[in-house]
Copies of this chain bind each other. A is one copy, B any other.
Amino acid sequence: MPYKPSSLWRSLRAYQIYGANTNVGKTIMSTILTKAFKRKFPSQNVWYLKPVSTGPLDEADDRHIARFSPDTKTKCLFQFDEPVSPHIAARSSKPLSDTEAQDKVLAHLTACAESGAGTVLVETAGGVHSPTPSGSSQADLYRPLRLPICLVADHHLGGISASISAFESLHIRGYDLDTVLQFEDGKYQNHTYLQEFFERKGISSLSLPPPPPRGQTEEEDQEMMSEYYEKMSNLDKVEEVITTLAEQHAQRIENLEGMSTRADSKIWYPFTQHREVSPQNIMTIDSASGDFFQTYNPASKDGTLVPTFDGSASWWTQGLGHGNPELSLAAAYAAGRYGHVMFAGTIHEPALQLAESLLHHLNNPRLSKVFYSDNGSTGMEVAVKMALTASFERYKWDVPKEEIGIIGLKGSYHGDTIGAMDASEPSVYNERVHWYKGRGHWFDFPQVKMVKGKWIVEPPKGMESEFGDVTEFASLAEIFDINARLGSSAGRKYSKHIEEILDRLINKEGKIFGALVMEPVILGAGGMLFADPLFQHLLTSVIRTSRLFPSRAHTSATTWTGLPVIHDEVFTGLYRLGTFTPSTLLQSQPDISVHAKLLTGGLVPLCCTVASKSIFDAFLGNEKRDALLHGHSYTAHPVGCHVAGKSIAKLVEIEKEGIWDSAKEDWKSGSRLASVSDQAVQAWSVWSRGFVKKISYSREVESVIALGSVLAIKLQDENSGYSSTAATGLQKKLLGGSDDFKIHVRVLGNVLYMMASQTSRSETLRSIEKSLLEALC
């Protein structure tokens, strides 16, 4: 299965039995529970599943259950004889992958659910982090199922600590504990302490007398145990726990059922026309792992949750998978070490390390200072403030300061705060916003797309004379071969056009500009517009060298000239397009760049605006008022900085480890290498080249683009743009689900895009490609 499975059924109560340690009585507690469930619900089934068992077969836990709780249907999926940890026991057998284990467990649970109402207990091996046969932690292995947990606490000396730590390890993985089970011990009294501890967290617990000591003979032993089990499973307090567990199951489903109605009444959604919102079209997300949401599925008779591919990478933020335990730990570490500490005139390790790491990997000699804020929009406001002040300090224009504009591209989007909006041209996003005022000029630009199997660069409609005719390229690589294309006829046309427009605006119309602001390579919210990289490259170089901007004398090669160049890399940065920074693809380096979204691996908001020294110096002065008087309370919050530091390290490691090599190879094989110069930066995608080509032939498709983890399909539609509804049909089809899972995507007018994580599994992507081909061709 390419996806992480669902595991919630109306008819089937499924619990996972975890132990705070090995030898704490998981199987004994399970036996008691199975008997008590049978007693409580005599007409229903009770199942017991031991996915992985080690040790002699006749001592196996499932046999114990079968003996003492004969009405229970027991099963063990993987049995190893050696009484050691599964990762050692499994060495002599054929390798058992985590996915295989997950699949088998899910298959068994599904079979249980299909055979009628009941309860199933899934008993783990050893403690919470005991290794699986593959060597991973079982707490991680079973996490995608996220079954509610019955934790068997440790009643031995030291067991308080073991039990609390076990709880914490489960909790930070997003598991919910339904109950804690423990044996009483008069001397250590762990159960008293732990009962109070868990009560404070709202978790009930059940304390039972320990089983009798071993008898003289096996017969006596069995008799005593039978008696013990009879007595325990009949206790009122055991029945209470069973009732509570059953209620929690029912409540969980009831809660999922009611959430969209409550949300409809209380939540004001971003970017949403609420007239079209009703409880029926709000998607309830129970949890998420890897690339998948677990969503509530009202259509289902029984399986209440359904895996749904997060096809917008949760608004382009996801890179390392949902519920990534390394990122949870990183967040918690920084929260534990600092909480938040104020960041004016102070320094802490996560902020310093992130700044250094970002500057290092951006590898842009212009950049030397990192300014923190909270999201792409605030980070862009900071960038614009930086650039405008820097150019004003140099040019000292004698005009009201609100009249200085920026140069950008049509279809740009930089965020929703007023300053960020003002950097975009008038559009549907801002037309009803009272304080919005577009400040600048936005260029038309030629676009890259694949049409009917061919990569082309297409001029804006009716502007062939300025940009040249549609040009066909043998490969994407050729398009990114900037140096080779500089001297081309297109290159010359682009430069001339840019010069002419600027000359008109500045010299004829008296406009004043203080910055160039661009989303490098792909303009996201504007509709996934893939700009010809040569045009963006030349826009920067013309502005940097044009006589229109008389800034010549500069102190070093990293001083800005012409105008400060801002790259809004919020969407396109940090491997989203396959390279650490899209500036590499453009072969052009900004004076200011802005980074967010993937920065924190998709966990919490954070933004870095990175600037050159010559920008920074413009704010040095004798007075406080000369400084950049901008800041947010949580500026450089340690949680975000530390998670970001870890995310960047992980992304860089993924590239170094060659995880993307086969995808790179796939795209390389499509290049006529002879025609691409050595300096060309490789363009590649996690979406397969063959698929992209194939889908471009669909008659419903106007064009396709793919780069890095981005895929965007422009559908044939007469009313293009943000108000178009052409893509919503396809969107609905995908959400309807394939054999394997649903696919949740966002559309931008007649463009349907799909965004994978940087860690999406190849099988998942191939499965999605198949769904798309089926839906379209």
Contact A332 B337 (CB under 8 A): no
> A519 in the interface, Cβ–Cβ < 8 Å?
no
Of A165, A322, A418, A422, chain B has the most CB atoms within 10 Å of the CB of A165
Is residue A187 within 8 Å, beta carbon to beta carbon, of the partner chain?
yes
A322 is contacted by which of B329, B339, B343 (Cβ under 8 Å)? B339
Q: How many Å lie between the Cα of A371 and that of B605 in the bound state?
A: 16
Q: Is the pair B161, A126 in contact by a Cβ cutoff of 8 Å?
A: yes
- In the complex, which residues of chain B have a beta carbon less than 8 angstroms from the beta carbon of A508? none
A661 at the interface (CB under 8 A from B): no
A352 CA to B189 CA, complexed, in Å: 39
Q: Is A375 an interface residue (CB 8 A)?
A: yes
Question: Contact at B329–A157, with CB atoms within 8 Å?
Answer: no
Docked pose: A697 CA to B150 CA in angstroms: 62
Asked if A685 is at the interface (CB within 8 A of a chain B CB), the reply is no
* Interface stretch of the complex, out of A1-9, A44-52, A114-122, A629-637: A629-637
Min CB–CB distance A253 → chain B (angstroms): 14
A628 to B272, CA, bound (A): 7
Check if A267 sits within 8 Å of B352, measured CB to CB: yes
Interface string of A243-259 (1 = CB under 8 A from B): 00000000000010001
**CB within 8 Å for A341 and B329 given contacts A23-B157, A605-B632, A632-B377:** no
Q: How distant is the Cα of A431 from the Cα of B722 in the complex, in angstroms?
A: 37
Are B623 and A273 in contact (CB-based, < 8 A)?
yes
Which chain B positions have C-beta within 8 A of A514? 434
A85 at the interface (CB under 8 A from B): yes
Contacts of A275 in B (CB 8 A): 620-622
* A174-B625 contact, Cβ under 8 Å, with A341-B293, A371-B268, A603-B340: no
Inter-subunit contact A85/B160 (CB<8 Å): yes
A658 interface hit (Cβ, 8 Å): no
| Residue pair A314, B337 in contact (C-beta under 8 Å) | no
- Chain B residue with minimal CB distance to A384? B435
- Please indicate the chain B residues that have their CB under 8 angstroms from the CB of A722 in the complex: 624
A187 to B288, CA, bound (A): 38
Among A129-137, A444-452, A541-549, the stretch in contact with B:
A129-137
- The distance in angstroms between the C-alpha atoms of A318 and B339, with both chains bound, is 9
A375: chain B residues at CB < 8 Å are 374-375, 378, 632-634
Interface segment, A67-75, A212-220, A276-284, A462-470? Answer: A276-284
Pair A85/B266 contact, Cβ less than 8 Å: no
Within 8 A of B (CB), among A329-381: 329, 331-349, 351-352, 355-356, 359, 368-372, 374-378, 381
- Contact code string A179-193 (vs B, CB < 8 Å = 1, else 0): 000000001111001
Q: Within the complex, what minimum Cβ distance (angstroms) separates A176 from chain B?
A: 8
Within A425-460, which residues are at the interface with B (CB < 8 Å)? 428-437, 439
Is A590 on the interface with B (CB-CB < 8 A)?
Answer: no
User: Bound complex: CA of A128 vs CA of B336, how far in Å?
Assistant: 15
A315: interface (CB < 8 Å)? yes
Q: Which residue of B lies closest to A368 (CB)?
A: B266
Encode contact with B along A154-173: 1 for CB under 8 Å, 0 otherwise: 00011011101110110111
A22 on interface, CB distance cutoff 8 Å: yes
A392 and B434 contacting across the interface, CB-CB below 8 Å: yes
A384 to chain B, nearest CB (A): 7
**Known interface pairs A275-B620, A418-B381, A625-B432. Does A637 touch B344 (Cβ–Cβ under 8 Å)?**
no
Which partner residue on chain B sits nearest A597 by CB separation?
A: B633
In the complex the two chains form, what is the Cα distance from A633 to B414 in whole Å?
A: 12
B23 touches A158 (CB 8 A): yes
- Residues of B close to A415: CB separation below 8 A: 632
Contact B172 A623 (CB under 8 A): no
Tell me if A500 counts as interface (CB < 8 A to partner B): no
Looking at A158, A166, A437, which has the most chain B CB atoms within 10 Å of its CB?
A: A158
What is the distance, in angstroms, from A177's C-beta to the closest C-beta of chain B?
11
The verdict on A273 contacting B418 (CB below 8 Å), with A84-B187, A169-B168, A604-B604 known, is: no
- Cα distance A773–B128 in the bound complex, in angstroms: 54
Known A-B contacts A402-B436, A627-B274, A631-B270; the reply to A323 vs B335 at CB < 8 A is yes
- Which residues from B are CB-within-8-Å of A317? 340, 342, 633-634
Given contacts A314-B340, A329-B171, contact A435 B439 (CB under 8 A): yes
CB distance from A468 to the nearest CB of B (A): 35
Which residues in B have their C-beta under 8 angstroms from that of A171?
329, 332-333, 336
Compute how far the CA of A188 lies from the CA of B126 in the bound complex, rounded to whole angstroms: 12
CA gap between A88 and B342 in the complex, in Å: 41
A343 and B621 within 8 A (CB): no
Which residues of chain A from 183 to 216 have a CB within 8 Å of any chain B CB? 187-190, 193
Whether A129 touches B624, Cβ cut-off 8 Å, given contacts A172-B333, A189-B88, A332-B332, is: no
With A268-B369, A327-B339 known, 9 other A-B pairs at CB within 8 A are A129-B161, A165-B168, A270-B372, A272-B345, A378-B416, A417-B418, A428-B625, A603-B639, A605-B634
Instruction: List, sorted by A's number, 9 A–B pairs whose CB atoms are closer than 8 Å.
Output: A23-B157, A126-B161, A129-B161, A173-B337, A273-B624, A284-B346, A293-B346, A389-B434, A605-B637
